[in-house]
């Protein structure tokens, strides 16, 4: 195997593991997906074929271009919402990993105008003081299925994301990005945890949120500790899979 082939195979293995971690951490269930930018071709990205995340193996990983066309040879079926990934990678050159989920604790904060999703604990510092919300009605009216099923909707979602770490999708879910696959997975897990804590705190009374500066400082510190979580989550996901 050439060095290039070995790098690509390692990326396939990492992406399969990311799927298992996110399923084990209850961020993804039978739906949702995680991708990574191609390690050698920044104009391509890697994404599993259309299947439940917990079932993904390295052999299920497909290569797509930034127009979200499958370039892997053979007949393959990809996700309807692959355009989320292609358009964000096109708009954000620094992004190397993307997670789209229907994270249960996040959904309520995408459908209420009472409070935005924001950093309520240091592990969610990357969320800042207000997570943007994508409103598909502003793009296609009020008769869509809420899915990002074409490039135009993907581009509109990427525009709402802007330079944020995450974007809520009203009535649908959340998309989280990172400058590495591991950071995207870390952020997806802690977006769910931060949202859960925020909802619990809001039920008690007024919330003392992190300031913008506190969020930035906490995020920078946590970025240096991500491998601790990744290694643990990998071990837990592998044990869970072995017990099947």
The yes-or-no answer on residue 81 being catalytic is yes
22 within 8 A of 32, measured Cβ to Cβ:
yes
Give the number of other Cβ atoms within 10 Å of residue 173's Cβ.
24
Structure tokens at 74: 């053979």
Question: Among residues 75, 81, 212, 214, which one is catalytic?
Answer: 81
- DSSP result, the chain: --HHHHHHHHHHHHHHHHHHHHHHTTS-SSS-EEEEE-SS-TTEEEEE-SS-GGG--GGGEEEEETT--B-SSS-----TTTHHHHHHHHH-TT--EEEEE--TTTHHHHH-SS------SGGGGGGTT---EE-THHHH-S-S-S---SHHHHHHHHHHHTT-SEEEETTTEEEEEESSHHHHHHHHHHHHHHHHHHHHHHHHS---PPPHHHHHHHHHHHHTTHHHHHHHHHHHHHHHHHT-
Give the number of other Cβ atoms within 10 Å of residue 208's Cβ.
7
Q: Supply the residues annotated as catalytic.
A: 81
């Amino acid at each position: 195997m050439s060095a290039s082939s070995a790098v690509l195979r390692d990326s396939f293995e990492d992406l399969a593991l990311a799927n298992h971690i996110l399923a084990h951490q209850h961020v993804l269930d039978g739906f949702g997906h995680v991708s990574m930018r191609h390690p050698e071709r920044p104009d391509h990205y890697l994404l599993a074929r259309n299947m439940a995340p917990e079932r993904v193996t390295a052999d299920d990983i497909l290569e797509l271009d930034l127009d979200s066309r499958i370039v892997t040879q053979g007949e393959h079926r990809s996700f309807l919402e692959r355009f989320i990934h292609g358009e964000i990678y096109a708009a954000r050159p620094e992004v190397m990993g993307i997670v789209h989920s229907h994270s249960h604790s996040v959904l309520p904060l995408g459908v209420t105008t009472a409070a935005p999703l924001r950093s309520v604990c240091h592990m969610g510092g990357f969320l800042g003081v207000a997570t943007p919300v994508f409103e598909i009605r502003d793009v296609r009216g009020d008769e869509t299925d809420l899915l990002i099923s074409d490039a135009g909707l993907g581009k509109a979602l990427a525009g709402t994301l802007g330079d944020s770490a995450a974007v809520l999708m009203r009535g649908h879910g959340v998309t989280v990005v990172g400058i590495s696959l591991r950071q995207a997975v870390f952020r997806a897990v802690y977006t769910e945890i931060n949202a859960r804590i925020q909802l619990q705190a809001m039920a008690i009374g007024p919330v003392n949120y992190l300031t913008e500066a506190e969020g930035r400082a906490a995020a920078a510190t946590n970025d240096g500790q991500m491998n601790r979580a990744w290694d643990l989550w990998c071990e837990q996901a592998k044990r869970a899979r072995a017990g099947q």
